Every structure is written in C-alpha cells, then in structure tokens.
Amino acid sequence: MNDQKQKEVVLSGIRATGSIHLGNYSGAIQQFVKFQDDPDVDCFFFIANLHSITEKIEPDLVLKGTRDITRVFLAAGLDPEKSTIYAQSSIPELCELSWLFNCMVTVPTVANMPHFKEKKDLMQSRGTKETAGLLTYPILMAADILGVNGTIVPVGKDQEYHVELARDIARSFNSKFGDLFTLPAASIGDFIPSLQGSGKMGKSSGGQTIAINIAADELKKIVLTAMTDPARARRTDPGDPRNCNVASYHHIFSSTDEVTWAEAGCMNASIGCIDCKKVVLKNLEALIAPLRERYEEVARIPDKEIDEILHEGGIKARKIVMAVVGEAKERMGLPFF
C-alpha cells in the first residue's frame, strides 16, 4: 500500500466545541488553507465531533458546533472541491481502528500524556470524574491520522506529542504485522498565547479568546487590556519583550520593522504599552476583518447545504478508511466473516 502512494496526505481536525479562536486559526486552519493549494498533496480536514464529547455530551451543541466549524472552514478558504471535508462521526470504522490501537497501547502511555493530566485535573476541580474517552482521546486521534494514511498533520504545538503517539503506533503495527502505515509527521503552526497571563489561548484554558469573527470593538477591548511585562508599571519604566505576550503577537502578526520598533521601544521605554498594542490591534484587525466578513456570508448557508458537504466528504474519506481498517484487521487475524 505504501508503494502506491506518491502524494503527501495532509490530515487534521478541529473539535466541535466553542467558537474557533485565533489559536485554532493560526496554529492549524491557516496551515490547512496553504496545504490545500499545493498540488502535491491530498487534503483531509474534518470536524472531530467524537473528540468533542469526551468531557460532556450535549447533543444540540455538538451538532451545531459541527456545522459551525464547517462554516469556519469555508470562511477561511477551504474548498470542498479541493479538500475532503467531513465529520468524524460519518466514519464508524475510525472507532474500530481506535479499538485495535487501544489494544496495542499501554494505559501508562496514555495516562502520562500532558493533555490527559491537564484535563483530568480540570474535570476533578469541577467535581466530575475523567471519562475513559478522555484517556483514550489520543488513540482515536491516531486512528484519524492512520485511517487515511496521513503523512503530514498540521496542528498547534500542544498536539505534537499526540502525533508522536500516532507515529509510534504506526511503527509498532508495521513491525508486528507488516508495513501498512506511513509514519506521520506534525507540521507545527504558530503558537498563540493567552493575552491574560501565561498559557495558551484555548477553548478550555480560561481567559478570553479572540474568536475569528470577533467584533472590532471587542477585539480592541481584549488587545488594549492585554497583560504586559509587569516591570513596565509606568511609561518611563523599561521592559523586557520576553516577558510580554503582546511581543509574541508582534512576532507572529507584525512586519519585521514593527517588531524591531516595538522591542527597542519597550526596552528603552521610548514607547508606551498602549502604542505597542495599537500596532498589534491594527494587524489583527487586518487579519480578522476579511474572516469576519466571509463568516457573515457563510452563516447564511442553510444547514442542509452544509450537511451535504459533510455527507460527500464523509463518503469519500470513509472509502479510504474502510480499506485501511479492513487490511489492518486481516493482518491482525480479525477478518469480517
């Protein structure tokens, strides 16, 4: 199977929870759009709705979220004619593959994954117990990736070790049962920190997130009230850009000249934090304005049309996954009798 494959296979997913924020966009979706325009790759982008129920099952929200994220994909520039766009729930064989992998991975391996530890603590602090689905979350991810024999996985930094696990599973399967899976590699996008302190901007990590269709005045409020280096208590106090998340935003969203200006101005106190934030705000608004506009357009697409896109993509991706899972089962002595 490996020998037949010439093109890179790019695959990634987004959970159907909450609104899509700048972290999801810069870390993942922006990469999706770039890969889509590369003629040497086949692209698979999906809504990870099965991964959306590991903490809480809210049927209406997950269904709405699945359609919303499909709309965000379209607003960001993904094109169902160029990329296979689908929902994880359209491919039952992914759960089957995930089960096969569950039997190859030890409990300590998944229990020690940072994602599990963080989420477990969060759930326990809310008085709930972690689910088995949360524990095996990365194994279902491995099934998503290996089910289409994905070779490149565009994700944010926080997902890198999950792609590593998929790689380990592929290697272990190939050595035990013969080469079937190509070893996937992560393609890491920009890391977007929170603007209210430490940590990443996240759907569940607290703090405000910048939705990709955020209103201009809301964006302004978040950026202008962002935390900066505490050393800059007064305008005349010099600061250290390494202690400031606004400086990280400059590195991602500003021109080289603007970065130089902001860093020098911070270190010699020739500019105030507000001057510095205003430039980030200008650049973020330039990025978000067209997304906001396109999101307004796609919001008007009826659910029926969105479901049709997911249906078509689901059929296409499922065919590939079915063949891979059938082959994996055969090799493991588990034919469909």
Pick 62 or 201: Cβ nearer ligand TYM: 201
Which pair of tokens denotes residue 113? 């994954």
CA distance 172 to 303: 42
Q: Which is nearer to ligand TYM, 226 or 265 (CB)?
A: 226
Largest CA distance in the chain: 77
Cα-Cα end-to-end distance for the chain = 23
Strand order in the sheet with 185-188: 83-87, 41-48, 8-15, 152-155, 185-188
Catalytic residue among 157, 203, 278, 329: 203
CB of 224 to ligand TYM, least distance (A): 20
Give residues in contact with ligand TYM (CB under 6 A): 11-15, 23-24, 26-28, 48, 51, 141, 144-145, 153, 155-156, 158-159, 189, 191-192, 200-202
As a whole number of angstroms, the distance between CA 44 and CA 148 comes to 8
Nearer to ligand TYM, 265 or 317 (CB): 317
Q: Smallest distance from the beta carbon of 257 to ligand TYM, in angstroms? A: 25
State yes or no: is 200 an active-site residue.
Answer: yes
- Of residues 80 and 138, the one with the C-beta less far from ligand TYM: 138
In the bound complex, what is the minimum distance in angstroms from residue 182's beta carbon to ligand TYM? Answer: 14
304 token code pair: 């029926």
Check: CB of residue 48 under 8 Å from CB of residue 16: yes
28 versus 325: smaller Cβ distance to ligand TYM: 28
The torsion of the CA quartet 48, 194, 187, 107, rounded to 10 degrees, works out to -60
* Cβ-based nearer residue to ligand TYM, 47 or 273: 47
Q: Give catalytic status of residue 56 as yes or no.
A: no
> Rounded to the nearest whole angstrom, what is the least distance from the CB of residue 28 to ligand TYM in the complex?
4
Q: How far is the CB of 237 from ligand TYM (least distance, A)?
A: 29
For Cα atoms 285, 289, 291, give the angle at the middle one, nearest 5 degrees: 125
Strands annotated E in the chain: 8-15, 41-48, 83-87, 152-155, 185-188
Q: How crowded is residue 39: how many other Cβ atoms within 10 Å of its Cβ?
A: 6
Distance CA 278, CA 275 (A): 5
Closest CB to ligand TYM: residue number = 27
Q: Catalytic one among 120, 200, 220, 329? A: 200
Contact partners, residue 62, CB within 8 Å, separation at least 6: 16, 17, 49, 52, 53
Q: From the CB of 212, what's the least distance to ligand TYM, in Å? A: 11
Q: Which residues are catalytic?
A: 119, 200, 203
